[in-house]
Amino acid sequence: MRKALVLVILVGTVLGLLVACGPAATPTPTPTKAAVTPTPTAAPAATATPTTPPQPTATATLKPGETPKPTNTPTATSTKAPPTATSIPTATPTPTTAPFPTQVFAPKGNLIEAIQTLGLQMFDPVREDRASMCHYQAPIFDTLLGSDPKSGAIIDGIAETWEQSKDGLSWTFHIRKGLTWQNGDPITAEDVMFTYQQYLAPDAINGGTWPLEAVSGEVIDQYTFKVTTKAIDVYFGSKMSRAVGEDGVIIPKKYAESIGMKEFAKKPVGSGPWKFKDSATGVKVLYEAWDKHYRYKPNYQTLTIVMVPEESTRVAMLRTGQAAIAAIEPDSMAELSKAGVQMVMVPAVEQSAYYIWGTYDPRYAGDAITSVKVREALSLALNRQEIIDYVMEGKAAMPLPFGAFRYSVDIDVARWEQWSKEKLRYDPEAAKKLIADAGFAGFKLRFMNYDRPGSAYQKRVGEAQAAYWEKIGIDVDMQMSEWGVFSPMRREYDPVSGSQKVLAGQLTQFRAVGRPTTLDRSYSGLRWDGDERVAGSPLMKTPEALKITDLYSAAYGATDPQDRFKKTNDALQYMADLWLVVPVIEAGAYWAVNPELVGKFSGTPGRGELGEVMGRVPRPDQSPWK
Amino acid sequence: MQRYIVRRLLQGILTLFAVTVVVFALGRLIGNPVDLLLPDDATEADYKRIEHSLGLDRPVYQQLGIFYWNAFHGDFGNSIKYRRPVTEIFFERFPNTAKLAPIVMLISIGIAIPLGATAAFFRGRWPDKACTFIAVFGMATPNFWLGVVFIYVFAVFFQVLPAGGMEGPKAFILPGLTLGISHAAGMMRLLRSSMLEVISSDYVRTARSKGLPNRMVLLRHTMRNALIPMVTVGGVMMAHLFAGTVVVETVFAWPGIGQLTYQAVFFRDYPLLQAMVVAAAILMLFMNLVVDILYGYLDPRIRYS
């Protein structure tokens, strides 16, 4: 028996030592102290412009590089700080072309990226175009409008210029002349029209911009396409850029018609910087460089995106040179940095937040969470900086109001930075006082905690939230759940109140993805006629819910930039003051890079995946990390 | 024998029916795939549109009926995730798992037989204890942990084997070893017990009293008979391996049936999940039947009626 025990200890020790020694013995170059990219607090162009940027009128058409005349946008409220809206990105019809470094087309070698999942591995981008597909679709397919790699702003794409009509009900896109598809066919307005028609297919799963918002499309001439919308939506044009969504992808009419959409999905042709070569379902996708893209010339001859579900395997592949870029979780960053692996953090990809459901539901009348003071106290009880430092290893930032980011358009960034500092501060004493004043000391809070797919840190953030709430005397009843179980509950309604049958009266984790259009996410959460109905329901149109509809509709319909700026900030303020949808941290997307295989690069703010980025990733000899 | 086989096949059909009902019901209890298909801010109209296009807006009993009718005609439907026939996806992935299974089997047998025989032969002495320790270690060690340790040791530390994927023959070694070791442990314990039972039997004693050398007694008389129970375990193990090893295929990024099952569960891909479970159940039933029939040939004392 004793001998067996000694043997167990010996074997355990040897294995332990081998594992412990692993990281130090990697073939990667000397570890650098500056291995980690800057924290997301330094989001590009977030507050760089002290005054409101020039915003052209809705109908103005500009050529790339042309600078619109400056106009001052008035502040939305009486804050002392001058109105500060970021100049980039803009979701308004503001054609801009960001300067791009000239890339020489001399591709060499194979670039291998290891990611958790290849999603549906579907190469018909119209029938399946959600964000998670961008990893493997974006290298092949271009969008009508582009996104600026430095700021995440909306810039020209296949369309060189675009404008909204005076009545706000139609949009005209002017296709860049001389562009071709990867098979050599020219890109024309007919392709845009064809793509629009494909978006209307009943089996198309996409962001819904075309089927839900467009009424008709029209080919004006070979290079001009006009779309009429159901209502005025100042952000329709912006939705044609991946900075906002995925519905701007364009596919070739002639080629797709010649082989049919089913075959197209097997042998896709696009106009992006990478040509599709091969795909093995659930294994990998292969591409080869294409030299005719108007903006990006790949630096590698081939690109391989491989699916490796397990993070430790991805990291091992990265360290052994089997992969050059690997998706990781934020808690792995510190350890990997020490091992000489370089990090790329894409800032402002999403907010981890929480929702408070059904506060208007009569079943919960008189409950603590119906009190605005209590809801504000819940926020004050959270030490967000500690969550950022210890749960997120410093790889996150203080958030702005729910759904608002430092690159969001039409918002007064300085004002919301200040708001974040004041209103999202850690003040447990003030929190206790607010709860006591409201008469709910020691109340019981039902909290459903879960990880959202793609945001594996959320449960840990939720556990920290629960601990802070308990610290100020709240009796937290935390229930651990899973997205697949939680999500359907959002759409199961109580027949009397119209709020969620199970979720009403509870606080749950939630998430807002980063996009320049500020109001979209909070509106879909709070509107009474939406799915989430956090502020009111079709059966209980609360004054708050009606006010939300008024304020948000006004902002969406404001074609004048100054007017829209004011109305957007007004709506944001009203939403923030309700404390129903509350941000906790602003998180990014996290990538580990083998510096011997890939040169220094950065992601596009707000876009967690590297789909578009692959066209500009340099080799180590072109852009060394040191 | 023929009556026995027919009876077993009928039992198998009933088992398959029960399995599909359970999987069908459980699959629908764990969530709706549309929640994973649609973006964060999808509207009720989006949900209805997609549910309708996938046939998920029909009552569950109708969905089950359609499933049986189609399955009876060899059509297991289209994968919700991949939007392709599940049979097509299954047969794309199955060869990958099938390539790994025999290697795991060989490694398991290669470890289990010498260790089990040694343990039995040296019963109660240090080689027995050492082998028992190895078996306990193998059984107690979770696959995923062993896999991760192997990756760090052989891929990251020594850099002699790839960390994942299935490019080249070297890629088979780590997943094969990981699975082989864990399966070998149980087989080794079984062989040891079986051999000890045989060693104490009359015919072995007779063989020894006739003056046969130890080696011959061990190989001819003991081992042959002791291996019969191993056939049962081997058959079930083979079925398990062919049905896919979820954890190891996930850890080693091995694009086989196990990884596909994991994705189907995670994505609530009902048609794919149902097909995977039916395939696993069929494999299991088939292998059990083969083992039972083989038993009759291996052990003349066993007769089926």
Concatenate the DSSP letters of all residues of A237-281 into one string. GGGGBTTT-STTB---HHHHHHH-HHHHHHS---SSSEEEEEEET
In sequence order, the 6+-apart residues with CB closer than 8 A to the CB of A1 are: none
**Which of A164, A191, A175, A193 has its CA nearest to residue A90?**
A164
pLDDT recorded at residue B150: 95
* B163 and chain A in contact, CB less than 8 A: yes
Rounded Cα gap, residues A526 and A532, in angstroms: 7
Residues from chain B contacting residue A23 (CB–CB below 8 Å): 156
* B152 and chain A in contact, CB less than 8 A: yes
Residues from chain B contacting residue A453 (CB–CB below 8 Å): 36
- Residues B53/B61, Cβ–Cβ less than 8 Å: no
Query: Comparing A45-54, A236-245, A330-339, A400-409, which segment has the lowest mean pLDDT?
Result: A45-54
* A14 and chain B in contact, CB less than 8 A: no
Position A6 pLDDT exceeds 70: no
pLDDT recorded at residue B40: 62
Residues from chain A contacting residue B31 (CB–CB below 8 Å): 482-485, 487-488
Calculate the average pLDDT of chain B.
Answer: 86
Which B residues 238-277 touch A at CB under 8 Å?
Answer: 250-253, 255, 259-260, 262-263, 268
Position B35 pLDDT exceeds 80: no
* A110 and chain B in contact, CB less than 8 A: no
Q: How do residues A49-106 score in pLDDT, each as one tens digit?
A: 333 333 333 333 333 333 333 333 333 333 233 333 333 334 444 555 555 666 788 8
pLDDT recorded at residue B220: 81
- Residues A617/A139, Cβ–Cβ less than 8 Å: no
Position B146 pLDDT exceeds 70: yes
Position A446 pLDDT exceeds 70: yes
Rounded Cα gap, residues A179 and A188, in angstroms: 8
Grade residue B20 by pLDDT with cuts at 50, 70 and 90: confident
CB–CB contact B164 A117 (8 Å): no
Residue in A closest to B149 by C-alpha: A19
Share of residues in chain A with pLDDT > 70 (%)? 83
Grade residue A13 by pLDDT with cuts at 50, 70 and 90: very low
* A319 and chain B in contact, CB less than 8 A: yes
Using left for φ > 0, alpha for ψ between -120 and 50, and beta otherwise, residue A504 falls in beta
CB–CB contact B38 A531 (8 Å): no
Who wins on pLDDT, A316 or A340?
A316
At residue A191, the 3 state secondary structure works out as: helix
pLDDT recorded at residue A7: 46
To the nearest whole Å, the CA of B243 is away from the closest chain A CA by 17
- Residues A605/A154, Cβ–Cβ less than 8 Å: no
Burial label, B250 (beta-carbon count in 10 A; 0-12, 13-18, 19+): buried
Averaged pLDDT, A436-451: 96
To the nearest whole Å, the CA of B257 is away from the closest chain A CA by 11
> Which of A375-389, B19-33, B94-108, B243-257 has the highest mean predicted lDDT (pLDDT)?
A375-389
In sequence order, the 6+-apart residues with CB closer than 8 A to the CB of A35 are: A337, A340, A341, A342, A343
Residues from chain B contacting residue A244 (CB–CB below 8 Å): none
Determine which of B156, B166, B252 to mutate to test the interface with A (most A C-beta atoms within 10 Å).
B156
Give helix then strand counts, H and E, for chain A: 17, 17
- Residues A148/A101, Cβ–Cβ less than 8 Å: no
pLDDT recorded at residue B5: 83
Rounded Cα gap, residues B79 and B10, in angstroms: 29
Q: Please report the beta strands in A272-411, taking only residues with DSSP state E, as ranges in sequence order.
A: 274-280, 284-289, 302-307, 325-327, 342-356, 396-397
Which of A22, A120, A306 lies closest to B152 in CB terms?
A22
CB–CB contact B163 A130 (8 Å): no
- Residues A363/A435, Cβ–Cβ less than 8 Å: no
CB–CB contact A3 B38 (8 Å): no
**Which of A361, A384, A367, A352 has its CA nearest to residue A445?**
A367
Which of A7, A310, A483 lies closest to B251 in CB terms?
A310
* B157 and chain A in contact, CB less than 8 A: yes
pLDDT recorded at residue A96: 52
CB–CB contact A316 B156 (8 Å): yes
Query: What distances in angstroms separate CA A138 from CA A181, A271, A295, one per listed residue?
Result: 14, 10, 14
CB–CB contact B43 A203 (8 Å): no
Which of B41, B133, B252 lies closest to A313 in CB terms?
B252
pLDDT recorded at residue A42: 32
Averaged pLDDT, B168-173: 93
Grade residue A549 by pLDDT with cuts at 50, 70 and 90: very high
Averaged pLDDT, A503-509: 97
CB–CB contact B133 A8 (8 Å): yes
Determine which of B88, B94, B97, B157 to mutate to test the interface with A (most A C-beta atoms within 10 Å).
B157
**Which of A327, A347, A333 has its CA nearest to residue A588?**
A347
Which of A7, A22, A282 lies closest to B133 in CB terms?
A7
Which of B35, B163, B262 lies closest to A322 in CB terms?
B163
Q: Using the 8-state DSSP alphabet, how is residue A619 labeled?
A: P
* A9 and chain B in contact, CB less than 8 A: no
pLDDT recorded at residue A131: 66
CB–CB contact A531 B42 (8 Å): yes
pLDDT recorded at residue A507: 98
A535-538 CB contacts, 8 Å cutoff, 24+ apart: A535/A360, A535/A578, A535/A580, A536/A360, A537/A360, A537/A493, A537/A497, A537/A498, A537/A499, A538/A498
CB–CB contact B83 A531 (8 Å): no
Grade residue B164 by pLDDT with cuts at 50, 70 and 90: very high
Residues from chain A contacting residue B29 (CB–CB below 8 Å): none
Residues from chain B contacting residue A280 (CB–CB below 8 Å): 255
pLDDT recorded at residue B303: 65
In sequence order, the 6+-apart residues with CB closer than 8 A to the CB of A383 are: A426, A468
Rounded Cα gap, residues A131 and A239, in angstroms: 13
Rounded Cα gap, residues A119 and A131, in angstroms: 10
Position A404 pLDDT exceeds 60: yes
Residues from chain B contacting residue A117 (CB–CB below 8 Å): 263
To the nearest whole Å, the CA of A313 is away from the closest chain B CA by 6
CB–CB contact A202 B53 (8 Å): yes
Q: How do residues A123-179 score in pLDDT, each as one tens digit?
A: 999 887 666 678 899 999 999 999 888 888 889 999 999 999 999 999 999 999 999
Which of A205, A314, A487 lies closest to B31 in CB terms?
A487
Which of B31, B82, B156 lies closest to A485 in CB terms?
B31
User: Which pair of tokens denotes residue A540?
Assistant: 């209980």
Residues from chain A contacting residue B41 (CB–CB below 8 Å): 520-521, 524
Residues from chain A contacting residue B39 (CB–CB below 8 Å): 130-131, 207
DSSP per-residue codes, B163-225: SSS--SGGGGHHHHHHHHHHHHHHHHHHHHHHHHHHHTSHHHHHHHHTT--HHHIIIIIIIHH
Which of A26, A282, A488 lies closest to B31 in CB terms?
A488
To the nearest whole Å, the CA of A579 is away from the closest chain B CA by 20
Position A41 pLDDT exceeds 60: no
Rounded Cα gap, residues A609 and A344, in angstroms: 12
In sequence order, the 6+-apart residues with CB closer than 8 A to the CB of A562 are: A55, A71, A73, A74
To the nearest whole Å, the CA of B90 is away from the closest chain A CA by 11
Grade residue B160 by pLDDT with cuts at 50, 70 and 90: very high
Stated as kind and residue range, the H or E segment containing A219 is: strand A214-221
**Which of B274, B47, B92, B36 has its CA nearest to residue A120?**
B36
User: Which pair of tokens denotes residue A624?
Assistant: 């060394």
Rounded Cα gap, residues A31 and A91, in angstroms: 41
Rounded Cα gap, residues A574 and A553, in angstroms: 13
Determine which of B40, B246, B249 to mutate to test the interface with A (most A C-beta atoms within 10 Å).
B40
CB–CB contact B163 A320 (8 Å): yes
Position B93 pLDDT exceeds 50: yes
Query: Comparing A118-132, A261-275, A445-459, B26-40, which segment has the lowest mean pLDDT?
Result: B26-40
Q: How many CB atoms lie within 10 A of CB A155?
A: 23
Q: Using the 8-state DSSP alphabet, how is residue A391 labeled?
A: I
Instruction: Give the A:B interface size as CB pairs under 8 Å.
Output: 157
Rounded Cα gap, residues B19 and B267, in angstroms: 20
* Pairing assessment for the beta strands A284-289 and A274-280 based on DSSP bridges: antiparallel
Rounded Cα gap, residues A11 and B140, in angstroms: 14
Which of A23, A131, A531 lies closest to B44 in CB terms?
A531
CB–CB contact A491 B149 (8 Å): no
**Residue matched to tokens 């459903």:** A448
Which B residues 11-40 touch A at CB under 8 Å?
Answer: 30-32, 35-40
The three-point CA angle B41-B42-B47 to 5° equals 150
pLDDT recorded at residue A93: 45
Who wins on pLDDT, A414 or A67?
A414
Averaged pLDDT, A115-125: 87
Position A554 pLDDT exceeds 80: yes
> Which of A87-91, A559-563, B210-214 has the highest mean predicted lDDT (pLDDT)?
A559-563
Grade residue B39 by pLDDT with cuts at 50, 70 and 90: low
Q: Any idea how long chain B is? A: 305
pLDDT recorded at residue A39: 32
Work out the widest C-alpha separation in chain A, in whole angstroms: 88
Rounded Cα gap, residues A464 and A382, in angstroms: 8
Rounded Cα gap, residues A524 and A306, in angstroms: 34
Tell me the whole-structure pTM to 2 decimals.
Answer: 0.79
pLDDT recorded at residue A36: 28
Position A621 pLDDT exceeds 90: yes
Which of A7, A281, A524 lies closest to B41 in CB terms?
A524
Q: How do residues A474-496 score in pLDDT, each as one tens digit?
A: 999 999 998 878 888 888 899 99
Calculate the average pLDDT of chain A.
Answer: 84
At residue B250, the 3 state secondary structure works out as: helix
